[in-house]
A = this chain, B = another copy of it.
Amino acid sequence: MPRPVCLFTGQWADLPLEKLCEKAKEFGYDGLELACWGDHFDVQRALTEPKYCAKHWQLLNDYGLAALAISNHLVGQAVCDPIDERHKAILSPKVWGDGKPEGVRQRATAEMIDTIKAARKFFDAAPEAVQKYLKERTKRTVVVGFTGSPIWHLLYSFPPVSKSQIEAGYASFAAPCFALEVHPTEIAFDIVSTRRTLAALGDHPRFGLNFDPSHFGYQGVDYLAFLREFGPRVWNVHVKDVWWADHGMEAGVFGGHTNFGDDGRFWDFRSPGRGKIDFQGIIRTLNHSGYQGPLTVEWEDPMMDREFGAGEAEHFVRGLDFPRSQRAFDAAFSEG
């Protein structure tokens, strides 16, 4: 049984959910990973309006779609980040408040806890088939997101960063229970920092990872080794591609303060199948580690029309996945 192919809604929050459902169905997706912005999933309404969850499921059902995860990257980012002007644009006025850092962080943390409660309520209201899938294949209910990092800005050790500054960063980290997307600007962004993050949380059983290879490839991180080491903690998978140059460019890996899609960059996100990620190797490694959750397209390609891309991405992922062998191919040599 192949894995369901879903679309993450975060890049489509300008569209009402119903409009997006219509498009997603037309593109061919099995389901959505709902972002907690736009009108895609409203944490507070889910907690307080009795019929909110049921209506959401009805809408999804009308288009033959499932929802298999909830994502709250934007609010999550404010949980551990040093807060500045940039956060105002990604937070609701309620969470931002007066913008004083400590208060922002506290309100963001509260909102993330609410997100987990709301997700619980939402999935409890799911149709039976979805509940069965979550129980048997995914084996859990997943909230995906970011947490920010108190120490990301110290990444290049000049002026020299003391060991204790880094250690303090990890010590202060306390995530709510969910699947962290390993990503630059977060507390965990490669294999080494993921190890330290898990250690800081004492390998908490309700803390997992969202695997998105596009954040590893251009960085020079061995993402198949990541899956081998952290496979059982990988609770959600984003399918996003990235391209990087074979030789030196005008703007290097740090981006040169350019925008995504500008000419002369060393790397850029790409529609799945149009970059350099070895997705076949990922499927083989996921088959080894036993991951049965959705393959969710997070569609980002700054040089391609969004709808064209989301359509071709669905085809790409559908053709990518394959089931694991149940027998040795040379077992038949000793038959008869």
Which residues in A have some Cβ–Cβ distance to B below 8 Å? 10-14, 37-39, 74, 77, 81, 85-87, 89-90, 151-163, 165-166, 169, 183-185, 189-193, 196, 216-225, 228, 244-261, 263-264, 266-267, 269, 274, 280, 284, 287-288, 299-306, 308-309, 312, 322-336
On whether the beta carbons of B258 and A192 are closer than 8 Å, the reply is yes
Of chain B, the residue at the smallest CB distance from A262 is B192
Report the separation of the CA atoms of residues A256 and B226 in the bound assembly, to the nearest whole angstrom.
13
Among A159, A162, A163, A332, the most chain B Cβ lie within 10 Å of the Cβ of A159
Known A-B contacts A219-B254, A249-B221, A335-B38; A159 and B77 likewise in contact (beta carbons under 8 Å): yes
Of chain B, the residue at the smallest CB distance from A298 is B329
Which of the residues B217, B248, B326 comes within 8 Å of A225, measured between beta carbons? Answer: B248
Q: Which 8 A-B pairs have the closest CB atoms?
A: A222-B248, A219-B252, A192-B256, A221-B252, A13-B335, A220-B266, A153-B153, A86-B159
Known: A219-B254, A302-B329, A305-B322. 6 other contacts (CB 8 A): A86-B165, A89-B159, A191-B251, A191-B256, A193-B256, A220-B249
Report the separation of the CA atoms of residues A251 and B189 in the bound assembly, to the nearest whole angstrom.
9
Report the separation of the CA atoms of residues A256 and B74 in the bound assembly, to the nearest whole angstrom.
23
On whether the beta carbons of B155 and A334 are closer than 8 Å, the reply is no
A-B contact pairs, 20 of them (CB 8 A): A11-B330, A14-B331, A37-B332, A86-B160, A89-B333, A155-B254, A159-B333, A160-B334, A163-B259, A169-B257, A189-B256, A190-B250, A190-B252, A191-B249, A217-B248, A221-B248, A222-B250, A247-B247, A302-B328, A304-B322
Of chain B, the residue at the smallest CB distance from A265 is B192
Main DSSP-derived SS at the A contact region: loop
Residues of B contacting A223 in the complex (Cβ-Cβ under 8 angstroms): 248
Of chain B, the residue at the smallest CB distance from A228 is B263
On whether the beta carbons of B248 and A89 are closer than 8 Å, the reply is no
Report the separation of the CA atoms of residues A154 and B101 in the bound assembly, to the nearest whole angstrom.
17
On whether the beta carbons of A301 and B325 are closer than 8 Å, the reply is yes
On whether the beta carbons of B269 and A329 are closer than 8 Å, the reply is yes
Report the separation of the CA atoms of residues A156 and B223 in the bound assembly, to the nearest whole angstrom.
20
Residues of B contacting A323 in the complex (Cβ-Cβ under 8 angstroms): 304-305, 308
Nearest CB of B to A101, in Å: 14
On whether the beta carbons of B263 and A288 are closer than 8 Å, the reply is yes
Report the separation of the CA atoms of residues A31 and B303 in the bound assembly, to the nearest whole angstrom.
27
Nearest CB of B to A155, in Å: 5
Known A-B contacts A37-B335, A153-B153, A221-B249; A257 and B196 likewise in contact (beta carbons under 8 Å): yes
Residues of B contacting A280 in the complex (Cβ-Cβ under 8 angstroms): 274
Report the separation of the CA atoms of residues A159 and B90 in the bound assembly, to the nearest whole angstrom.
7
Report the separation of the CA atoms of residues A259 and B156 in the bound assembly, to the nearest whole angstrom.
10
On whether the beta carbons of A255 and B157 are closer than 8 Å, the reply is yes
Nearest CB of B to A166, in Å: 5
Nearest CB of B to A308, in Å: 5
On whether the beta carbons of B249 and A330 are closer than 8 Å, the reply is no
Report the separation of the CA atoms of residues A14 and B160 in the bound assembly, to the nearest whole angstrom.
16
Residues of B contacting A85 in the complex (Cβ-Cβ under 8 angstroms): 165
Residues of B contacting A332 in the complex (Cβ-Cβ under 8 angstroms): 10-14, 37-38
